[in-house]
Structure 1
Amino acid sequence: MRKVQKIGFIGLGVMGEPICRNLTRKAGVPVMAFDLSSEPLQRLAVEGAEIAASPAQVMQQCDVVFLSLPSGEVVAKLARDADGLLTHASEDQIIVDLSTSAVDSTRALAEEFAHRKAHLVDAPVARTRAAAEAGTLAVMVGASPDLFERVKPLIGTFASDIALCGSVGCGQVLKILNNMVLFETVVAVSEAKAIGERAGVDPTVLFNTLSMGSADSFALRNHGMKAVLPGEFPERAFSVRYAQKDLHYALQLAAQTGVDVRGAQVVDSWFTQAIAAGKGEAYHPVISTLMSKGAQ
């Protein structure tokens, strides 16, 4: 079994930077980071991370490599480029994909890494940037039990809840379905606010009262009370465009498994309308502002 002497990290965006920071501080071995932007690299260098010149250098020098990239398509391209991850993968190296990717794409890549005698583990992350900074993310892992035990201590530097969901790809299944359920619940919460407000109920009273009954949920208490209610939909949060990307993975998986998902299709129509209204970069509960008839 290959000993972990150096950890690599590729992708230092909204979630990647705080995750990499926790690894740098807590993993107990050197961390080498790469990103196309210099700013997060400079901030992490202050924490002690090494700066890589390219993804190839990360793959060549690191035993475990974490990826935190915008989509499965970006992961696949980076892996299959002529000077990409697959070209430089080595025996018993572990690549941990923290991104949300399509299930079939993840499993296909895992087979390609296996041909190089390397291992791909899917470990998509859930919760917020604040949770990434605090080290309290939830991570859904697709891997064999032995690989899971090898990466779990490293994931534990940035996550408080870590679940082995099954073989490779199963982490993506869980993350995609988690997001699908969340998005559908946000639509229901937003509809309730729009109807209740028009019917004369103060929305604060509405949400507080719903939280005492069977309609209570994480989405109500967080997306509802902290975004829909005050009307706060910042950029550089989980935007409509990113949310729709994840939802499309769910719709794709539903089609592949032969399941009728009309609720998810309704969410997709709201996301499309929000993007058309110029709200694509805003936090995804912004769809609540479109639910009054005639809203733009």
Structure 2
Amino acid sequence: MAKVAFLGLGVMGYPMARHLAAKGHEVTVYNRTAEKADKWVSENGGWAARTPREAAEGQEIVFACVGNDDDLRQVTLGPDGAFHNLTAGSLFVDHTTASAEAARDLHAAAKQKGAAFVDAPVSGGQAGAENGVLTVMCGGDEEAYAKAEPVIMSFARACRLMGPAGAGQLTKMVNQICIAGLVQGLSEGIHFGKKAGLDIEAVLDVISKGAAGSWQMENRGKTMNQGKFDFGFAVDWMRKDLSIVLGEARKNGASLPITALVDQFYAEVQRMGGNRWDTSSLLARLEK
């Protein structure tokens, strides 16, 4: 069992940290809102720290799952950042969906302290975190990954090293590109089916068994048909992710016309007031 810290107790981090404690790891938690960290400790045991720096002291592995690049740099390199208390041989594992550039910078900063860094964004959403079945895509050194993987499996069903620092984040970008196109296609299919007077539940049931089937269809098709979007992965967060994707594409020369178009469709959903709606709300803009 490892002695670990977890920074960031949002909809993903809260259950991820809980799974670590349930597996017997010694867990110290930090959250920007201290009351949430105290609540987590009251439910799961362990300790609450008041700063990332305090949380990282004496830990074998420090996990983080925060909002974006700026948040990540603040909890790592800021005045009270965790990197101030990283020691030789310790490991920082970042589950934030962030840029590959941030991952490479933090990998280098950790190495200067004799520590290691693994970028490890996740897929599976809140339900995957709650049920401990996330997919984790990692970037970093093989030795660091080998240390991280068995602990990560406390809340994952799949975990794989994709390459050097930043490769985990790049793989997550591929994931978000694919999701954007899939949800738009599913939205158009449901919209078309309604206009054609079809029984959408029946349509989704039959085509999900064939080549059109996908996680999105299985898990979001029914709620999309019912016009329910007040749950799941928020449009604001998807736009943050797609901004990272499109920024990386400008650097590497990738052509992403569909991704750029769907990003603008999500901007329309935001203007409709759907900032916190699930990403499947692309259907709502077709039916407005």
What TM-score does the superposition give when structure 1 sets the normalisation length? 0.92
| Counterpart for residue 75 of structure 1 | 72
For these two proteins, the number of residue pairs brought into alignment is 287
- Letter in structure 1 aligned against 2:135: A
Which segment is superposed worse, 181-190 or 28-37? 28-37
Q: Tell me the SS of whatever aligns to 2:282.
A: helix
Q: Which amino acid aligns with 2:26?
A: P
C-alpha RMSD over aligned residues = 1.5
Residue 281 of structure 2 aligns to which amino acid in structure 1? V
Tell me: CA distance 1:87–1:40, structure 2 relative to 1, closer, same or farther (3 Å): closer
Please report how far the alpha carbon of residue 118 of structure 1 lies from its aligned counterpart in structure 2 after TM superposition.
1.5
1:238 maps to 233
Q: Aligned to 1:61, what secondary structure does the other structure show?
A: coil
Structure 1 residue 128: Cα displacement: 2.4
Unaligned runs of 5+ in 1: none
2:182 maps to which of 185, 194, 197: 185
Q: Is the 8 A contact 1:14 1:129 kept in 2?
A: yes
What amino acid is the match of 1:53? R
How far did 1:246 drift? 0.8
CA distance in structure 2 between the partners assigned to 1:209 and 1:115 by the alignment: 56
Query: C-alpha distance in 1, partners of 2:149/2:50?
Result: 28
1:250 to 245, 258, 278: 245
Counterpart of 1:229 (choices 225, 230, 240) is 225
Which of 155, 159, 163 is the aligned partner of 2:156? Answer: 159
Residues 8, 66 of structure 1: 8 Å contact kept: yes
Following superposition, the deviation at residue 5 of structure 1 comes to 5.0
Cα deviations across residues 213-266 of structure 1 (Å, max 9, x unaligned)? Answer: 2211112112223x312222124x310000111111111121111011001011
Matched with 1:262 is 257
Alignment partner for residue 136 of structure 2, among 139, 153, 156? Answer: 139
SS of 2:210 mapped into structure 1: coil
* Matching residue of 2:9: 12
Give the match for residue 116 of structure 1. Answer: 113
Q: Match for residue 277 of structure 1?
A: 272
Deviation at 1:10, TM superposition (A): 0.6
Aligned partners of 1:21 and 1:41: how far apart in 2? 13
* Aligned-pair CA distance for 1:185: 0.3
Consecutive unaligned residues in structure 2, runs of 5 or more:
none
Q: Which moved more, 1:87-96 or 1:182-191?
A: 87-96
- Following the alignment from structure 1 to structure 2, what is the Cα–Cα distance between the partners of residues 178 and 88? 33
Partner of 1:32: 28
Q: Percent identity at matched positions?
A: 27
Select the residue among 198, 203, 209 that pairs with 2:200: 203
